[in-house]
Amino acid sequence: MTAPLPPEMTGPSAWYGPDMLAREQEWILPLSPAHVAEVEQAARAALAQGIDIARIGKADFPLPTLGPVLAEALEELLTGRGFVLFRGLPVDDWPIELSAAAFVGIGRHLGNPKSQNGKGHILGHVRDLGLASNDPNVRIYQTRERQTFHTDSCDVVGLLCLKAAKSGGHSALVSSMTIYNEIHRRRPDLLPHLLRPVATDRRGEVSPGQKPFFEIPVFSVHDGLISVIYQRQYINSAQRFEDAPRLSPETVEALDLFDALADDPALNFTMVLRPGDLQFVHNHTILHDRTGFEDWEEDTKKRHLLRLWLAPESARALPPAYAQRYGSVTPGERGGIILPETRLHAPLTPI
């Protein structure tokens, strides 16, 4: 007997892009002058005390009025629509060190920062480094190419926009719960192929004893919830390994439908991130994308975002298979990329 498919997902995490775009007043939260003042005060105090930016803790960063707002935002991230945008940090007037400290301090009110690569960067720099994604050891955020819809290896990903591109480079979101529902309705015969493990390339960041790929289903059902992990380019590039399970024609068809639905403007929507915007996204229920972009010639004007990978202690339970990628499934501890040589730090320049 074939096991019944998990039912469609209901609730606020299963949304459609055009409707969400029409309700932007619900998810764009302007920072008040009082919020900005207390963030700046906390950031300057932490730096004056000589606290390493990578080790700024929640207790080091008191936010008496913004803190409760962030707590509400975290609940919305984890159990609601799955994303929020704060607007109004004056990053144009701040040195990079102050912006970085402010971002990490705000992030610590949402979760524990995790390493985003084998170098131990808890503060990532999203900038075109002149690389190309056809190099299997390059991650797409280091290029100016479109990223395509994907998840990151953490519970919550945060971005702080410092500089916008000359054109393009916009942020796009789509509900992976809505994608699941649409496949359930249109092609339920393909869903089982997305509920089985699939090989995904680690892109060269491999710890001793690990395979160069992990095997986790696109859709994982656990504790009554569906969680998603997905990066199609890395699924495709994992096929370069002889011991990676081959993709069946049915699995390829299921992945193609997944991509087509993610790319459908009836499901997704695009937002323009301005300097000073902070976007936070729940990876388990949302996929994010970035459009390709044309950058400025002047180095000081080039598109530049800071990124955090966060592990909230109140995050959902995840299936054991996620430990292949997250190292652990314990909320607050899981996620990120840790190699034997990894030492956590917060670089202030893209390296």
| 75-134 confidence digits (pLDDT tens) | 999 999 999 999 999 999 999 999 999 999 999 999 999 999 988 999 999 886 665 556
Residue 221 C-alpha from the chain's centroid: 20
> For 130-189, how does the pLDDT look when each residue is reduced to its tens digit (9 = 90+)?
655 565 655 555 666 667 899 999 999 999 999 987 766 789 999 999 999 999 999 999
Distances (CA, A) of 102 to 36, 70, 163, 214, 348: 10, 14, 16, 34, 13
| Residue 21 CB-half CA count within 13 A | 15
Question: Which distant-in-sequence residues (6+ apart) come within 8 Å of 65 by Cβ?
Answer: 32, 34, 35, 38
- Enumerate the domain spans of the chain: 17-326
Measured distance CA(161)–CA(262) in Å, rounded: 24
pLDDT digits (tens, 9 = 90+) for 267-280: 999 999 999 999 99
What is the mean pLDDT of the segment spanning 293-299? 71
The pair phi, psi for residue 157, each rounded to 5°, is -110, 135
Q: What average pLDDT does the segment 319-338 reach?
A: 95
- Identify the CATH class of 17-326: alpha beta
* pLDDT value of residue 261: 98
pLDDT > 70 fraction of the chain, expressed in percent and rounded: 92
* pLDDT score of 248 more than 60: yes
- In the block, residue with structure tokens 């102050």: 98
Instruction: Give the chain as a 3 state SS string.
Output: CCCCCCCCCCCCCCCCHHHHHCCHHHHEEECCHHHHHHHHHHHHHHHHCCCCHHHCCHHHCCCCCHHHHHHHHHHHHHHCCCEEEEECCCHHHCCHHHHHHHHHHHHHCCCEECCCCCCCECCEEECCCCCCCCCCCCCHHHCCCCCCCECCCCCEEEEEEEECCCEECCEEEEEHHHHHHHHHHHCCCCHHHHCCEEEEECCCCCCCCCCCEEEEECEEEECCEEEECCEHHHHHHHHHCCCCCCCCHHHHHHHHHHHHHHCCCCCCEEECCCCCEEEEEECCCEEEEECCEECCCCHHHCCEEEEEEEECCCCCCCCHHHHHHHCCCCCCCCCCCCCCCCCCECCCCCC
**Paired strand residues for 28:** 85
The pLDDT, as a whole number, for residue 104 is: 98
pTM for this one?
0.93
Under 8 Å CB-to-CB from 296, ≥6 apart: which residues?
Answer: 165, 166, 302, 303
Count of C-beta atoms within a 10 Å radius of residue 174: 24
pLDDT at 1 over 50: no
Residue 51: is its pLDDT beyond 90?
yes
For the chain, what is the largest distance between any 2 Cα atoms, rounded to a whole number of angstroms? 65
- Among residues of the chain, what percentage have pLDDT more than 90? 81
Q: Name the burial class of residue 8, with classes exposed (0-12), middle (13-18) and buried (19+) by CB atoms within 10 angstroms of its CB.
A: middle
* Most confident of the following: 14-28, 119-133, 287-301, 327-341: 14-28
CA-nearest of 148, 115, 118 to 292 is 148
> Taking 60 as the threshold, does the pLDDT of residue 330 lie above it?
yes
